[in-house]
Amino acid sequence: MIFGIKLVVLVLLALVAFAVDAHVSFEFAGRVFPLEHPRPYLEMIGAAIIGALVAGMVVAYPLVRLFPLRYWIAALMVSLPYMSLRVDWLVMYFGEHKPRIVATALFELLFFPAAIVFCAWSFRKLTVARAERANHTVGQKN
């Protein structure tokens, strides 16, 4: 029963991470860069970085709370649907001479899961450090 609930939460977190990444990337690109065609690499890569980091920050807390020891595996599972879309882009556009799309898809394929894992790792480190400080402070009062 608990495994089923955690699996449903992982699917929901994957949807949340995808939606947050898409929204933040779109807002960042729209507010920072002027509308150009074709889009510059800096815009595409910058939007991918900001979107992935914000998505990682949003899903880090539930990942670490539900999977305290295997949060990094859960983070990779959350990023799998996003990675599958980027692999699809690579396969679809590789032979069509669209280097911008291929380069961005390859970057996002590598950076998105790394950002999710990094944010979960960072949150886990903060949680452990906070718990150690609290235990140390309680030990001093006695």
pLDDT tens string, the chain, 142 residues long: the values are 588 899 999 999 999 999 999 999 999 988 888 887 777 888 889 999 999 999 999 999 999 999 988 999 999 999 999 999 999 989 898 888 888 888 899 999 999 999 999 999 999 999 888 888 888 765 555 4
Q: Is 115 exposed, middle or buried (0-12, 13-18, 19+ CB in 10 A)?
A: buried
Domain ranges in the chain are 2-141
What does the pLDDT read at residue 140? 58
Look up residue 40 and give its amino acid.
P
Q: Are 81 and 14 in contact (CB under 8 A)?
A: yes
What does the pLDDT read at residue 142? 47
What does the pLDDT read at residue 135? 81
Per-residue buried b or exposed e for 103-113, using 16+ beta carbons within 10 Å of the residue's own CB: ebbebbbebbb
What does the pLDDT read at residue 130? 83
